[in-house]
Amino acid sequence: MQKNNKLIRYVFIAFMLFTTMFSYYVWQITKTPNYQVDEKKGFALLIPKGANFDSVWDSLKVNKIVKDELSFKFLAKLLKYKANVKEGRYLIKAKMGNYELIKKLRSGDQDPIKLTFNNIRLKRDLVHKIGNKFSFDSTALESVLNDTITARKYGFTNETFMCMFLPNTYEVFWTDSPDDLLSTMKTWYDKFWSEERKRKAKEIGLDPIKAQIMASIVEAETKKADEKPRVAGVYMNRLRDNMPLGADPTVVFAHQDFSIKRVTKALLQINSPYNTYRFTGLPPGPINLPDLASIDAVLNYEKHDYMYFCAKEDFSGYHNFAITFRDHLNNAKIYQEALNNRNIMK
């Protein structure tokens, strides 16, 4: 009887040891951090459409991400990940265990991308800025941005299509198609153009698109947030009086030479609808993507009698404003002298 009790005790102890060791092994292969990645940045694993487990593994191996390869492959097989590979962008973090990552990959729970753009003038600038953030080729984005039918679908023309891209930071997915991206931009565009903003635009004789075109000129003229409403007021005064806007940045845009520092009489001869010295009213489209503050500056422009402004001679970025053309010429002369003193001829 005592021998049987001892045997049972030994078997129980052996079972407990085995269970403990097995539990530890399971914990180790599932929960223990198993990835060599930057602790702050992690590693973005990109899985294209149609990829299989072998291609996923090749990507991990080439980048030397997995520490214990055997445990990763074993758990991937156990969780049937090999038959459930899903495309996407997945961020691998340093403290992740095999189970957490494989479960994430298997479910297709990809991580979004923070998409930020500003200081954009042309469609090609936008393509260059964000075109490589997605699984699609950047030429696909360029194609839809220049497609008249696509622009019309969203309520724009080829010239005004860029208005839909409001400078900001957005969350998108690497697997998004060009159409997905456009839909996201339109959703945020519609949110920005609330009924309140539409009402303000209508009260000053503009619509959302025209307000953004005007804002693009204001944006090009000054980066000083406190000065934007005053600059907007000058252009609104000229627009109200059916006077040519006479905005130098529109002439620069017409020439597509953004290195120009001073607009000469020769440059003013260009026959372009963007030459606001020759043609009255707003140009056919924005000359940049104005930030949200510039749009609001137009909607809430400063009411005053100024008709002219010229960059200050101290190159501070601010401007001297004038009611009469005579005073404006005097301000312009002072600024031209400052340019000459700095040998800025172009």
pLDDT in tens, 87-98: 999 999 998 999
Residue 295: Cβ within 10 Å count: 27
User: Rounded distance, CA 346 to CA 343, Å?
Assistant: 9
Checking if the pLDDT of 23 tops 50, the result is: no
pLDDT for the residue 336: 87
Q: Confidence band (pLDDT; 50, 70, 90) for 145?
A: very high
User: Rounded distance, CA 41 to CA 52, Å?
Assistant: 26
pLDDT for the residue 6: 56
Enter the tokens of residue 46.
């990109």
Q: Specify the pTM.
A: 0.85
C-alpha dihedral over 216, 220, 226, 229, to 10 degrees? -40
- Mean pLDDT rounded to a whole number for the chain: 90
Checking if the pLDDT of 154 tops 50, the result is: yes
Percentage of the residues of the chain whose pLDDT score is greater than 90: 80
Task: Please compute, for residue 106, the number of CA atoms within 13 A of its CA located in the half-sphere on the CB side.
Answer: 15
pLDDT for the residue 17: 46
The domain spans of the chain are 1-27, 32-111, 117-192, 196-304
pLDDT for the residue 124: 94
pLDDT for the residue 342: 81
pLDDT for the residue 22: 43
pLDDT for the residue 294: 97
pLDDT for the residue 64: 94
Q: What angle in degrees, to the nearest 10, is found between the helix axes of 69-78 and 2-31?
A: 100
The average pLDDT across 272-276 equals 97
Query: What's the CATH code, domain 32-111?
Result: 3.30.1490.480
